[in-house]
């Protein structure tokens, strides 16, 4: 069995198309198909359902692709360990981040890259917490930053980073006569733009309102916190956003930030990696960096 055969098999499972998998592996389609056939012959089980085109993995293939991903991940970790012993950390770190943490992740990545200048970081900032956990378990990510509540983080290493507080922002004219914290009853009377249903930041808002018997009816919904801040900058809208975004991106001129009271919104944000030992030297270095930082507000 060759690592190349496992790489081709994993690529086909990911792309679900022979030609795209071959392109991703930089080989011809016949070469990829032949390598997977040889793997099937060696394992003595069919891995791929074939017809005029790729029709999916067999039940055996669905189970064995998990092992193939694990073997390749361990192989990469071994190579990283050897290189690190010789010349310091190198390689690629794949980090998945929830949108709410897209403005704060620089506080972790900057010191990590400064300490390990040969490491390349691939950052994805539009993932949901559940997707990050799933991709970690499929060895498609090395680490993630997410909301841990409502997620199954068993068999993952969880490192607290900070608590994310939410505030209401709005044009000064909309908040005339509101010098201090705003009640939720007053907040829902404003022309709101909020995150889309299903996003964790929206869940936090809806849960707080539900506890008070209130409901928000936003006139605009989006999957982008940056878009919410831009809309509020027109002076016509109010929104509820993570306070960390306002530290990283200054609010537009004329926009006020007001705390929400009874209850305030706060949620933990954590770094997660695989907990297997020995782990990847890259993720171990990232965890060490995170634990040594004053990363935003105390967790």
> Residue 208 in 3-state DSSP?
helix
Count of Cβ atoms closer than 10 Å to residue 268 Cβ: 15
- Asked whether the predicted pLDDT for residue 86 surpasses 80, the reply is no
Residue 166: pLDDT band with limits 50, 70, 90: very high
Task: Provide the CATH number for the domain formed by 3-68 in this structure.
Answer: 1.10.10.10
Fold of 88-162+268-292: D-Maltodextrin-Binding Protein; domain 2 (3.40.190)
Positions of CATH 3.40.190.10 in the chain: 88-162+268-292
| Topology classification of domain 165-265 | D-Maltodextrin-Binding Protein; domain 2 (3.40.190)
Give me the mean pLDDT over the 212-220 stretch.
Answer: 93
**Which residues, at least 6 apart from 149, have a Cβ–Cβ distance to it below 8 Å?**
267, 268
Cα–Cα distances in angstroms (integers) from residue 131 to residues 71, 82, 119, 143, in the given order: 22, 31, 24, 12
Beta strand 193-195 with 91-97: parallel, antiparallel or unpaired? unpaired
Q: How confident is the model at residue 73 (pLDDT cuts 50, 70, 90)?
A: confident
Q: For the chain, what is the mean pLDDT? A: 88
pLDDT number for residue 288: 93
Percent of the chain with pLDDT over 70: 96
Size (the chain), residues: 299
Within 8 A by CB and 6+ apart from 30, the residues are none
pLDDT band with cut points at 50, 70 and 90 for residue 298: very low
pLDDT at 266 over 60: yes
Which residues partner with 273 through β-bridges?
143, 157
Chain segment 15-47, per-residue pLDDT in tens: 989 999 999 999 999 999 999 999 999 999 999
The CA-atom distances, in angstroms, between 34 and each of 40, 46, 59 are 10, 13, 20
Q: Considering only CA atoms, which of 63, 10, 67 is closest in space to residue 36?
A: 10
pLDDT value of position 264: 86
Q: Return the pLDDT at 70.
A: 87
Kindly state the tokens that stand for 184. 């939720």
Alpha carbon distance 170, 251 (integer Å): 10
Is the per-residue pLDDT at 104 higher than 50?
yes
End-to-end CA distance of the chain: 46
Q: Per the confidence metrics, is the pTM higher than 0.85?
A: no
Tokens of 269: 């944000």
Residue 23's pLDDT is what?
92
Average pLDDT over residues 131-137: 94
For 17-26, 48-57, 146-155, 161-170, which range has the lowest pLDDT when averaged over its residues? 48-57
- Is residue 87 within 8 A of residue 118, CB to CB? The reply is yes
User: Per-residue pLDDT averaged across 154-174, rounded?
Assistant: 92
Structure-derived torsion over alpha carbons of residues 230, 231, 233, 238, reported in degrees to the nearest 10: -130
Q: Where in the chain is the domain with CATH 1.10.10.10?
A: 3-68
């Amino acid at each position: 069995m060759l690592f190349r055969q496992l790489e081709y098999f994993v690529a086909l499972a990911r792309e679900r198309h022979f030609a795209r998998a071959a392109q991703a592996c930089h080989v011809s389609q016949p070469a990829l198909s032949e390598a997977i056939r040889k793997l099937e012959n060696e394992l003595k089980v069919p891995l791929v359902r074939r017809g005029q085109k790729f029709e999916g993995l067999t039940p055996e293939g669905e189970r064995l692709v998990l092992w193939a991903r694990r073997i390749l991940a361990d192989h990469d970790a071994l190579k990283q360990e050897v290189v690190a012993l010789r010349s310091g950390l190198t390689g690629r770190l794949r980090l998945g981040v929830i949108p709410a943490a897209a403005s704060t992740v620089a506080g972790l990545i900057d010191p990590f890259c400064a300490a390990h200048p040969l490491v390349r970081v691939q950052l994805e900032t539009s993932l949901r917490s559940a997707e990050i956990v799933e991709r970690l378990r499929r060895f498609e990510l090395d680490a993630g930053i997410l909301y841990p509540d409502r997620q199954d983080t068993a068999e993952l290493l969880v490192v607290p980073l900070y608590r994310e507080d939410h505030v209401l922002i709005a044009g000064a004219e909309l908040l005339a006569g509101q010098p201090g914290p705003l009640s939720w009853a007053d907040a829902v009377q404003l022309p709101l733009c909020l995150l889309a249903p299903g996003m964790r930041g929206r869940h936090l808002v809806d849960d707080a309102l539900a506890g008070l018997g209130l409901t928000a009816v936003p006139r605009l919904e989006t999957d982008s916190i940056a878009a919410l801040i831009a809309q509020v900058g027109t002076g016509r809208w109010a929104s509820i956003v993570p306070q960390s975004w306002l530290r990283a991106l200054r609010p537009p001129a004329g926009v006020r930030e007001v705390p929400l009271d009874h209850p305030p919104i706060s949620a933990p944000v954590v770094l997660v990696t695989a907990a297997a030992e020995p782990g990847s030297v890259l993720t171990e270095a990232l965890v060490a960096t995170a634990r040594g930082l004053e990363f935003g507000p105390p967790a």
